[in-house]
């Protein structure tokens, strides 16, 4: 007899949906890198040289690039300690080409993202509760996009893209699961 609390079996995504999701992720990654490019502008020449030297010392398999296996030790060298799952997600987040490799510019964006969190998951959870009018832990897609525009200062296009990522894999995509969004946000 099947366990009533068990998750239903995963249904494979059609190839076209998988390709759309990958293209959307790559476009989002390119935007992430572009938005965080200013990190390099704020560094001094010696700081850039030290970052580049450290990056290149870990870039041994493909010169000028690092993969998930190399990213972990590099981040630990810089005082961070992401899990194996986080490493894959971090590469996906900034890997605009989708080849599983990160260059120095993408790595700089990744560092900017990891140092930008000013709020705790608890802070975000409490804020999102204000928009969960039904108390279900889910926020309607349109309300969530408005929230991102009004409170996070995102453009309409960026908010729509963020909602698309937050609802990816959902059957109808009409609501954003607040807990899943918080988990995604703070794994970055």
pTM: 0.47
Cβ–Cβ < 8 Å for 24, 161 = yes
Is the CATH number 3.30.1330.20 carried by domain 121-187? no
pLDDT of 180: 82
pLDDT for residue 6 is more than 90: no
Q: What is the pLDDT, as a whole number, of residue 11? A: 45
Of 51, 42, 80, nearest in space to 188 by CA: 80
Question: Given pLDDT bands bounded at 50, 70 and 90, which one contains residue 13?
Answer: very low
How far from 29 is each of 1, 3, 54, 111, 178, CA to CA, in Å?
A: 44, 39, 23, 14, 22
> Three-state DSSP class for 81?
coil
Flag whether pLDDT at 157 surpasses 70: yes
**Per-domain boundaries in the chain:** 16-116, 121-187
CATH superfamily of 16-116: EF-hand (1.10.238.10)
Per-residue pLDDT, 116: 62
Which pLDDT band, with edges at 50, 70 and 90, does 8 fall under?
very low
Q: Nearest Cα to 58, choosing from 89, 90, 91, 102? A: 102
């Amino acid at each position: 007899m099947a366990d009533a609390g068990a998750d239903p079996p995963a249904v494979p995504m059609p190839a076209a949906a998988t390709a759309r999701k990958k293209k959307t992720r790559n476009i989002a990654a390119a935007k992430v890198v572009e938005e965080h490019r200013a990190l390099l502008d704020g560094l001094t020449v010696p700081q850039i040289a030290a970052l580049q030297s450290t990056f290149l010392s870990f870039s041994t398999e493909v010169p000028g690039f690092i993969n998930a296996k190399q990213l972990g030790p590099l981040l630990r060298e810089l005082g961070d300690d992401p899990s194996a799952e986080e490493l894959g997600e971090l590469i996906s987040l900034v890997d605009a080409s989708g080849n599983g490799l990160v260059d120095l510019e993408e790595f700089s964006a990744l560092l900017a993202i990891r140092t930008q969190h000013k709020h705790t998951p608890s802070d975000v959870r409490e804020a999102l509760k204000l928009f969960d009018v039904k108390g279900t832990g889910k926020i309607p897609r349109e309300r969530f996009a408005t929230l991102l525009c009004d409170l996070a200062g995102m453009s309409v296009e960026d908010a729509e893209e963020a909602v698309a990522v937050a609802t990816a894999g959902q059957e109808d995509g009409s609501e954003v699961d607040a807990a899943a969004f918080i988990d995604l946000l703070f794994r970055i």
